[in-house]
Chains A and B, each alone.
Chain A
Amino acid sequence: MFLYGFGPILLAGTIKTIELSVLSLAVSVLLGLLGAVAKLARNRLVAGVATAYTTLIRSVPDLVLMLLLFYSIQIAVNQLTDALGMDQIDIDPFVAGVLTLGFIYGAYFTETFRGAFLAVPRGQLEAGSAYGMSGIRVFARILFPQMMRFALPGIGNNWQVLVKATALVSIIGLADVVKAAQDAGKSTFNMFFFILVAAMIYLAITTVSNVVLLWLDKRYSIGVRHAEL
């Protein structure tokens, strides 16, 4: 029988992996944009906090941070609920996974966006405010569309790393595609085959992402002339 009847479980795991990746991407892009603005802020305290965030998070392995945050958040919540005399709240591992991955990769995105912000010529922003646009409008109409062009290669890299990092959430007990493959392998005594299937699924995800990123790159560099070599 195809996949020994474990097809639906693997499919559910794959969907979980994709959901996790996309939601963590959303969280980390948001954090990255905030972090980049903070890192470029004139206020020294704000810039210092953002710098500490990116330096510390990027120097510690993601798996260590994942375990650290995952266990300590639960313990902190337990202490809080104990102190307030409430019932214990169990944090959903999926939500915890999204938040920790988002928090970790937010630091990588901060660096990507910071570089991209700096690559947009200052005169463009000044021209925007000379036309009487508000700060938010300058961001939405001038800074963001141009910044995306510079940020896109970095975003693509981070996304590929993020997708591969989601394989680690099975260690903190999430039923992603790796966990599904391991369970299937254990019960059919065919570990090699099922892990290979999981690897193929990841390869398919990264291949599709590559195609999408190429398309996005083309779209955002409309109007840019490349040097012909």
Chain B
Amino acid sequence: MIEILSQYGRAFLYYDGQGLSGLAVTLWLLVLSLVIGFCMAVPLAVARVSKNRWVSTPVRCYTYVFRGTPLYVQLLLIYSGVYSLQIVHAHAALNEFFRSGLHCAILAFGLNTGAYTTEIFAGAIRATSHGEVEAARAYGMSRWTMYRRVILPSALRRALPLYSNEVILMLHATTVAFTATVPDVLKVARDANSATYMSFQAFGIAALIYLAVSFALVAAFRQAERRWLAYLAVRGH
């Protein structure tokens, strides 16, 4: 245990001698894919609840496909599948993008979490109480203003508990990134395992790191809920 820690401790946290590795890469993957997912999910959730079928059906198909297939398969499709296509090789920019495992991992994770987040936000938008919407209409708000001032602020708050779940699941999902040669925590653990044959210790350290990050995220979201969902909390006397 001490041996692995002294030899791989730095690689587990941030630097493996060549570049960023371990926890730093895992957190970078997590943050970037969550940002992409969130930015996609807000407009897509609004489209998902639209009464116009031509708008809602494509979004429904997107979430259906991405939630119905494993993330690992999606990553394989983007990393090994797309790169094997002739068109991608012929195009300089595409070739450059899909050659990097990190780019492919972020693209796959962003699209995947985007699909789950869209459904979470769409559910919260649907659960908006009709009185609020009627009040907004009575004030003569346009649809855009109504979404910006009434529906989205309240729906995103109410989605917070489910969204925190999705963030934890996304942290867990980043572990498949090592199959695309991204040096995240699990990749370092596998390197340590194949170099020392101390499997339990190597993967045990990785498990502890993920455990710590999960606990930190849970604590952070609890604070966020206390702040933004205070009006839903059970009130004491």
A residues within 8 Å of B by Cβ?
A: 56, 59-65, 67-68, 71-72, 75, 163-168, 170-171, 178, 182, 185, 189-192, 195-196, 198-199, 202-203, 206-207
Contacts and interface: CB of A to CB of B under 8 A. Distances in A.
Given A60-B207, A167-B73, A72 B80 contact: no
A67 B203 contact: yes
A164 B173 CA distance: 11
B77 A196 contact: yes
A163 B82 CA distance: 24
Interface of B: 65, 67-74, 76-77, 80-82, 84-85, 168, 171-176, 179, 186, 189-190, 193, 199-200, 203-204, 206-207, 210-211, 214-215
Contacts of B72: 167-168, 170-171, 178
B175 A195 contact: no
Contacts of A60: 172, 207, 210-211, 214
Nearest to A186: B80
A16 to B, nearest CB: 15
Contacts of A61: 171-175, 186, 210
A165 B172 CA distance: 11
Given A63-B186, A167-B73, A189 B84 contact: yes
Given A63-B186, A189-B84, A68 B207 contact: yes
A173 B91 CA distance: 35
A130 to B, nearest CB: 34
Nearest to A170: B72
Contact of B203 (A68, A171, A182, A203): A68
Given A60-B210, A171-B179, A67 B73 contact: no
B97 to A, nearest CB: 16
Given A64-B189, A191-B80, A192-B84, A199 B73 contact: yes
Q: B interface, by DSSP: helix, strand, loop or mixed?
A: helix
29 contacts: A59-B210, A59-B211, A63-B172, A63-B176, A64-B175, A64-B186, A64-B203, A64-B206, A67-B186, A67-B189, A68-B203, A71-B193, A71-B203, A164-B70, A168-B176, A170-B72, A178-B72, A185-B80, A192-B82, A192-B84, A195-B81, A196-B77, A199-B69, A199-B73, A202-B68, A202-B70, A202-B73, A203-B65, A206-B68
A182 B84 CA distance: 12
Nearest to B197: A75
A171 B176 CA distance: 9
A174 B204 CA distance: 22
A72 B203 contact: yes
Nearest to B172: A61
B210 A192 contact: no
A185 B84 CA distance: 10
B69 A67 contact: no
A192 B83 CA distance: 8
A167 B74 CA distance: 11
Contacts of A191: 80-81, 84
B176 to A, nearest CB: 6
A192 B81 contact: yes
Contact of A65 (B67, B82, B207, B214): B207
B222 to A, nearest CB: 14
Given A191-B80, A199-B77, A203-B65, A68 B204 contact: yes
A71 B200 contact: yes
A192 B77 contact: yes
Given A64-B175, A71-B199, A195-B76, A59 B70 contact: no
B233 to A, nearest CB: 20
Nearest to A206: B68
Given A71-B200, A192-B84, A198 B73 contact: yes
